[in-house]
Amino acid sequence: MRRVLGVAVLGAGAIARAHVVALKRHVEAFPDAPAASRLVVLAGRDAARTEAAARRLGAPRWTADWRGILDDPEVGALINAGPNDLHAGPSIAALAAGRAVLCEKPLARTAGEAERMAACAEQSAAASMAGFNYRFVPAVLLARRLLCDGALGRVYHFRGRYSDDSLLDPATPHTWRHDRGRAGSGVVADLASHVVDLAHFLVGPITAVTAAVRTYTPARPAPGGEAPVTVEDAVAATLEFQCGALGTLEAGGMCPGRKNFLAFEVNGRDGTLAFNLERMNELQVYCGGGRARGLADVLVTEPDHPFGGRWWPPGHVLGWEHTFVHQWDEFVRRVTGTAHEPVGATFADGLAASRVCDALLVAADTGRRVVVAGPGSDAGKAEPGAAGER
């Protein structure tokens, strides 16, 4: 008999639904999974809305106080899909109570918070994972394998961008995402954190940044009038990598026509890889040599491609929700101590991304080049004069 992992989900928003869909579909695509998963309880804030969401998602129990789920003996794992200000507290409490935790990105609002979470994960026997689901796009994973195989030779450039139109309409109501206290930052936490994680996943650690940010909509509708937007709507940055590569990053929610345009390009001595989430089944590849000296579109659905054969025959493409199923499979393998190819982000990876996000904000505040904090580095400090001298 396969073990059953009881799961609590914190948050009843859009992303909580994606996780619930994933845990329900997991065994269908991964019949070799070491455990099946069962949604046991949904924790939200507003009682009526949480109850309605629990009915919709098929949760047998619900609560408007997340603390109760840690006393539930049926709960073996927590999916933390709450807003950013609820990542650290419940995740640390769950790990301390011996529950495995899959926490959404960004791991925390600040690197300081992420440090506490990573330290707790390090000390806990329970499994943990940060929800950077785009690592689980087959085309992204193929890019990583090509880079690890050295197919591009020495890497010179990384260009990453995340553009959508979610902030364009000034009538869109104020939410926790527009409040620095609750979100940590705006598009830096929400969008750029994904780009930073993919940059780390593909090219390696980012060691220094420069950045500029803009807020184009200073206030948004809120009950009783308007509330101030205290976060940035756009960021543009340069990135320096430990391997010597130079990169750029751009993220913004004021890009008409862009819906979920998470894109990167990596240029190496021997080739180039390019990806765009709006065409998520394709990887553009140029690996030098031959007569065709341009990027070719590779449809990443072959049986020997990442996750190939798990779903449909070649050419029968996958969607956004499949990344959550792939991620959940690795999480379950971590929870059960089953061997797996480590793809997903650890809490340490989440901390690394948070340190870069903090560095981007310091760089934007000071107008200076900032060395990214890390063990042994000069924690998130702007380099005096460096911006002007370069």
Ligand X SMILES: NC(=O)c1ccc[n+]([C@@H]2O[C@H](COP(=O)([O-])OP(=O)(O)OC[C@H]3O[C@@H](n4cnc5c(N)ncnc54)[C@H](O)[C@@H]3O)[C@@H](O)[C@H]2O)c1
- The conformation of residue 325, written as its DSSP 8-state character, comes to H
Considering the complex, what minimum distance in angstroms separates the CB of residue 129 from ligand X?
A: 12
* Among 9, 11, 77, 111, interactor with ligand X by CB under 6 A: 11
Contact by Cβ (8 Å): 356, 374: no
Encoded one letter per residue, x for contact with ligand X by CB under 6 A and - for no contact, window 94-123 reads: ----------xx------------------
14 is an interface residue for ligand X by CB under 6 A = yes
Helix-helix angle 320-336:14-29, to 10 degrees: 70
CA torsion sign for 38, 30, 349, 110 is negative
CA distances from residue 367 to 38, 180, 374 in whole angstroms, order as listed: 49, 20, 21
User: What is the C-alpha to C-alpha distance for residues 79 and 130, in angstroms, rounded to an integer?
Assistant: 10
Determine what percent of the chain falls in helix, strand and coil, rounding each to the nearest 5: 35, 25, 40
Of 83-91, 155-163, 241-249, 333-341, the segment contacting ligand X by CB under 6 A is: 83-91
Contact by Cβ (8 Å): 316, 341: no
Q: Which is nearer to ligand X, 29 or 53 (CB)?
A: 53
Q: Which is nearer to ligand X, 11 or 186 (CB)?
A: 11
Size of the site for ligand X (CB under 6 A): 22
Contacts with ligand X in 55-74 (CB under 6 A)? 66
Neighbours of 59 (CB within 10 A): 24
Considering the complex, what minimum distance in angstroms separates the CB of residue 64 from ligand X?
A: 7
Q: Which is nearer to ligand X, 44 or 247 (CB)?
A: 44
Of residues 250, 311, 237, 258, the one with CA closest to residue 281:
311
Considering the complex, what minimum distance in angstroms separates the CB of residue 332 from ligand X?
A: 18
* Among 5, 9, 12, 239, interactor with ligand X by CB under 6 A: 12
Q: How is 198-243 classified by DSSP, letter by letter?
A: HHHHHH--EEEEEEEEE-S--EEEETTEEEE--S-SEEEEEEEETT
Contacts with ligand X in 130-189 (CB under 6 A)? 131, 133
Considering the complex, what minimum distance in angstroms separates the CB of residue 234 from ligand X?
A: 17
252 is an interface residue for ligand X by CB under 6 A = no
* Among 37, 84, 210, 267, interactor with ligand X by CB under 6 A: 84
Considering the complex, what minimum distance in angstroms separates the CB of residue 194 from ligand X?
A: 7
* Residues engaged in binding ligand X (CB under 6 A): 10-16, 43-46, 66, 81-84, 86, 104-105, 131, 133, 190
